[in-house]
Each structure stands twice: as C-alpha cells, then as structure tokens.
Amino acid sequence: MEDIGDRQTGHDQAELSVDKMNLTDSQGMNLSKHINSREAKIGVIGLGYVGLPLVIEFSKAVFQVIGFDVYPAKVEALLQGKSYLRHIDPARLAPYATRFTPTTEFRRLPETDCIIICVPTPLNKNREPDMTYVFNTTRTIAQHLRKGQLVVLESTTYPGTTDEDVRLILEETGLKAGEDFFLAFSPEREDPNNKDFSTSTIPKVVGGYTGKCLTAAKALYDAIVVRTVPVSSTRVAEAAKLLENIYRAVNIAMVNELKMLFDKMGIDIWEVIEAAKTKPFGFQAFYPGPGLGGHCIPIDPFYLTWKAREYDFSTRFIELAGEINASMPYYVVQKTVDALNERGMSLKRARILVLGIAYKKNVDDTRESPSLKLIELYRERGAAVDYNDPYVPEIPKLRHYDLKLKSVALNEQTVSSYDAVVIVTDHSAYDFKFIAEKAKLVIDTRNAIVDAGIYGDKIKKA
C-alpha cells in the first residue's frame, strides 16, 4: 500500500498535475487503468435529471453501468425501456440495454468500482438544507463499501459535505478515505433541454479528498466529458457550484428589482436589456420573470447561507436576492389586481388561466415553479384558477403543494372565456399571437407578446 493519505490544501496546487500521481488501491489494482480499459463498473445512485444523462454517457463510453433508485416504479419503467423524463427520449437509452441495469437492489453496490451519488438536495420547511437523501444514501453505501472503490458526490451542497459529513459516515466502516477507498466531489452542470450543451460537452469540475482520490475521479470523468477541471479540494468544487448558482440568483434579482422600478418610470425593462446587451464586453444579459423556479437556483444559495452561520457570517447578497426573487409572484398578483381593477373587476371571483406550470420553457419540470405560488396566491384572494401546460397534464403532488388541477384545453373558447390569461412559462408550443388576439386580458411575465402595441391596452407586462 502506498502513502495515499496525501491530503491536499489550497496551497499545493502543484500537486494537481494529476498525471504524476500513481493511483494504487489496497488490492494493488490501478483504478485509473481499470477505468481507462473500461473494465471498471459504474454505479449511479439516483436516476433523475442528473443521474440518467450520466448513465447514458457512461454506457455510450462502453462501461457496464448499474443504476440504483429507491423508487421501484422508476426502475420498472427503465427496465421496460421507458423514460419518465420528457427531455430524455427512451431511444437514447435503448442502444445500451445490455450495458445498463437499473435496480432497487443496493446490495449490488459491491459489484461496482465507481459510485456516483445524484440524489436530491432540497430545503426543508424551515428553508434549511435537507440532507436526508444524501446521508441515507451514504449510509447505504457504507453498508456495502469495499476497498478500492471510488465514491463521488454530485448532489449540489455546502462546502464541507464531502470531506466532513460523507467521509465520516463512510469511515464508520473502518475503511479510510484516501487509503482504502477514494472520495471526490464533482458538481453537475446539467441544463435540461439546452440544445447547445449536454453532459459530455460541459466541462466538469472535480475535487478529490486526496491527490489520488482526484486522480481516480479525473480518470472517471475524462472518459465521458470533453474536459475535466481539477481543483485542489472537494470544498473548492462544492463552492464553485454554489458560486455559479448564486451568480444567477443575484443577477436575476437585480433585473427583477429594476423591472419594478422602471415600470413606475414608464420604462420597459426588456427594451433596456436589449439595448444594454449590445455592449460587446463587461455585460451579460439576465432577464426578469415571475420568480425563480427549478431544483437549483431558488435552493442552492441557501445551502451556503446555512453553512455560513457556522462561521458567524451573514450572506447578505444571497438573502437580499432571495427576498426580491421570492416577492415576484406577489408583484404579478398585484399587477393582475390593478389590470382587473381598471376594468371595474376584482380578483375575487375572477376566472384566471395560468399558462405554463413548468419552471422554464419547453420542460416538464414543476419543481419550485413560480406558477404554483401564483395559483395559491390567486386562490387565496378568491379567484377561480385553471392552467394549461402542454407538458404537464396534471399537477403532481409536490413537497409544498397539492393543487389537484388538470391542464385545460387551449382553444379560442377557453382563452376568451377567462377574465385574465397569465403567461408564466413561455413554452415554444404556445401561439402568443393567437393568445393575445383571443384573450380579454393578458398578464405577460415573460415579454412573450412581442407586438404588444398591436393588441393595445389588454396586454400588461408584469
């Protein structure tokens, strides 16, 4: 056994010339070589938006892959060659039926050489990190951990999760990270439905608990992505992911605030952004909207806020951005109230049609969608609310919502029958010209009705 306990610090960047490191596990097996020769078997835990694309990439790279999930229905669907995520066409999985085995049987974990954790990291009802999925999964891995395995956490989380919490759980087995097994963190940058980038073409940041952990993790991802970006620790990798998402949350909050101010000044924020983005340097366009949605941006920044408290530090940018972004559905409701009022109507007893339940265009993901909050707020104020979403026929029961609604048809009769149509998600499938023509009143949170001038006063941007 070599001296694998070469714990890295931010100062030993030179150590990052990973090719110089000689990775040898306790059984004398070189894991990197094992990966490069495709003999290594890959285990992916959590077969969702992040896990399934990874399964496809590793299968494509001629690895044998076992996919683990706790939900039998998902595993059953995969075994039947079906996918339960709209943007993952089952045809993408079909060629790999002989290489990919989905299962709920975690006792098969010792068959794998590399284990990648892609389970959810939501917030609990007090808006604090809910680490139960990651920790339960880690405990399950610990029950089956064997020498020489590589464990990589991909779930977005606070710095310190991998080298403190996950490591301690795994080391309760008596095996040591960096000596008996390898431990790393590599954040996911999946952007469902992005036509320009996919799992394999997005560079991947990788941090290891030790240099040799990094070598193993780098070899693993080198097999499937265009470029791996090694960093000096798991904490840097964890923090890099949070920086990416905090950057978006803060900038979106800024344009949301400017939207509200410019509205009072009679200035259209969308026109301002179009003008500003002609600057060829030093400016990146962010767009206002009805509030944040999705599994990442409304949630991840608060993982850092929570961890910062341990250091007696308050993350003011994150808190302020959160406050502004969370207030946007209320702004949209107020705009609806004002527009109805102009027509001598009140929100109470008004009939509202919400367009789009998915948190962003052309996907079926409803997690944290601002549409859900909007429906709740409209209902609380006495409105009768329906929705349409071509990708969400029924609103599933979610962590914070059980709205019990089904998508209504979108045709001339329905669109014209509501007191207000509220555009929340600008799916490409929508014919906004038709909607603008037929609706009595449109509340447009996405600047979807481009020729608002043609449709006069019945289009209200919000």
Q: Is 368 in the site for ligand NAD (CB under 6 A)?
A: no
**Interface region with ligand NAD, contact rule CB under 6 A, candidates 5-13, 64-72, 335-343, 403-411:** 64-72
Q: Which residue has the tokens 């949301």?
A: 256
Scanning 29-37, 131-139, 167-175, 203-211 for contacts with ligand NAD by CB under 6 A, the matching segment is: 131-139
Q: Give yes or no for residue 69 binding ligand NAD (CB under 6 A).
A: yes
Select 44 or 435, whichever has its Cβ closest to ligand NAD. 44
Q: Which stretch binds ligand NAD (CB under 6 A): 47-55, 160-168, 252-260, 422-430?
A: 47-55
Nearer Cβ to ligand NAD (137/315): 137
Which residue lies nearer to ligand NAD by CB, 118 or 269?
A: 118
Round to whole Å and give the CA distance between 331 and 25.
Answer: 57
> From the list 192, 207, 230, 290, which residue makes contact with ligand NAD (rule: CB under 6 A)?
192
# of chain residues touching ligand NAD (CB under 6 A): 27
From the CB of 122, what's the least distance to ligand NAD, in Å?
A: 8
Q: State yes or no: residue 204 binds ligand NAD (CB under 6 A).
A: no
Determine, following the binding rule CB under 6 A, whether residue 51 of this chain makes contact with ligand NAD. Answer: yes
CA distance 356 to 392: 8
Pick the stretch among 29-37, 62-70, 273-281, 429-437 that binds ligand NAD (CB under 6 A).
62-70
Is 322 a binding residue for ligand NAD by CB under 6 A? The answer is no
Binding mask 140-159 for ligand NAD (x = CB under 6 A): --------------xxx---
Identity at 290, one-letter amino acid code: P
When the beta carbons of 208 and 294 are compared against ligand NAD, the nearer one is 294
Q: 74-93: which residues touch ligand NAD (CB under 6 A)?
A: 74
Nearer to ligand NAD by Cβ, of 176 and 360: the residue is 360
- Residue least distant from ligand NAD (Cβ): 48
By the rule CB under 6 A, 388 interacts with ligand NAD: no
Site for ligand NAD in 106-125 (CB under 6 A): 118-121
| b/e code 193-210 from CB counts within 10 Å (16+ = b) | eeeeeebbebebbbbbbb
Please give the Cα distance from 23 to 29 (Å, whole number).
9
Question: What's the closest the beta carbon of residue 343 comes to ligand NAD, in angstroms?
Answer: 40
| Contact call for residue 49 and ligand NAD (CB under 6 A) | yes
43 is an interface residue for ligand NAD by CB under 6 A: no
**Surface-to-core class of residue 275, CB atoms within 10 Å of its CB (0-12 exposed, 13-18 middle, 19+ buried):** exposed
Residue by residue, what is the 3-state secondary structure of the chain?
CCCCCCECCCCCHHHHCHHHCCCCCCCCCCHHHHHHCCCCEEEEECCCCCHHHHHHHHHHCCCEEEEECCCHHHHHHHHCCCCCCCCCCHHHHHHHCCCEEEECCHHHHHHCCEEEECCCCCECCCCCECCHHHHHHHHHHHHHCCCCCEEEECCCCCCCHHHHHHHHHHHCCCCCECCCEEEEECCCCCCCCCCCCCHHHCCEEEEECEHHHHHHHHHHHHCCCCCEEEECCHHHHHHHHHHHHHHHHHHHHHHHHHHHHHHHCCCCHHHHHHHHCCCCCCCCCCCCCCCCCCCCCCCHHHHHHHHHHCCCCCCHHHHHHHHHHHHHHHHHHHHHHHHHHHCCCCCCCCEEEEECCCCCCCCCCCCCCHHHHHHHHHHHCCCEEEEECCCCCECCCCCCCCCCCECCCCCHHHHHHCCEEEECCCCCCCCHHHHHHHCCCEEECCCCCCCHHHHHHHEEEC
* Closest CB to ligand NAD among residues 295, 427: 295
Q: Does 188 bind ligand NAD (CB under 6 A)?
A: yes
Distance in Å, CB of 22 to ligand NAD, minimum: 32
Exposed, middle or buried by CB within 10 Å (0-12, 13-18, 19+), for 268? middle
What minimum distance in Å lies between the beta carbon of 291 and ligand NAD?
Answer: 18
CA distance 176 to 67: 25
129-137, 219-227, 389-397, 411-419 -> range binding ligand NAD (CB under 6 A): 129-137
Selected from 133, 158, 209, 303, the binder of ligand NAD by CB under 6 A is 133
Task: Give least dist CB 170 to ligand NAD, A.
Answer: 15
Indicate if 296 belongs to the active site.
Answer: yes
Return the range that interacts with ligand NAD (CB under 6 A); candidates 48-56, 217-225, 393-401, 406-414.
Answer: 48-56
Nearer to ligand NAD, 78 or 462 (CB): 78
Find the binder of ligand NAD among 71, 197, 283, 313 (CB under 6 A).
71
Which residues of this protein are in contact with ligand NAD, per CB under 6 A? 45-51, 68-71, 74, 118-121, 133, 136-137, 154-156, 188, 190, 192, 295-296
| Active centre residues (catalytic) | 296
